[in-house]
Structure 1
Amino acid sequence: MAISMGGGGADAPMGDMNTTPLIDVMLVLLIMFIITLPIQTHAVKIDLPVPPENPIDDPIKPDVNKVFIADSGVIMWNGAPVNTTQLADYLERTKDIEPTPELQLEPHPNARYVIVDNVLAVIKRSGVSGLGFVGNERYAREF
């Protein structure tokens, strides 16, 4: 298709080049190029590590560890109940992991403040650098 923009009359010859055949040839060449590309069939041979037969169930996760304080006062470390001594031990062991895992603290809204305060004191004494409070966003509309 070509459009005549002014000049001459309706009977005057068009001076524009018809690019439709040019575009058709370019598309055919592009499709031929795609079809003739060699398929990438080479493979890299690597030996993947095999998991141990008896995996050690380590309560410390390398990326995020979660401390939950139930309304009954039970302190949970990644879902397992712990006391403050075990919590301090786990926190000391997390400092040896590189990069240091994030610690998330989620107290139940009805948990006693004394217990939450004791847990925060244990966390502060352990020197944990990455602490975040989670679960507070669900109470944003109440205040």
Structure 2
Amino acid sequence: MAMGPVSRRGGRGRRAPMADINVTPLVDVMLVLLIIFMITAPLLVAGVPVNLPDSRAGALDQDQKPVSVSLAEGGKIYVNDEETAEAALPARLEALAATAAKGPEAPQVYLRADRGLDYGRVMKVMGELNRAGLNKVALVTVGESGTGEGAR
């Protein structure tokens, strides 16, 4: 590896350009991108802010994308991050079940409910899920360490 310009044979004074690559700027850019991804990745976890209860349950393994039903603190209901009126919830769930019936198996439903909500309100939504035929329901909680999410 040459440390400077290399002279050719004959010694006439013409020198060939250096063939070394300076990787310091590449490393700097890659480290900045790594920091950006480390900061933004946790912000992309959930679409609807819900204060989840704690649990020691582990996360579930899954092949297909689940349906997310969220109950926010004010009582608003979200299906796949889209706000849905309580009166329109049964029709929306039946439409999801009808599209899922074309597939090999029923979709997994993740139910995320704020810890401050009344238990009866959560059970009412679970009853609507059962009535629509969406029986694979997982309740999403905050993991034991408080950083990750688990479902059981």
* TM-score, normalisation: structure 1: 0.46
Structure whose residues are more often strand by fraction: 2
* TM-score, normalisation: structure 2: 0.44
User: If you compute each CA radius of gyration, which structure gives the higher value, 1 or 2?
Assistant: 1
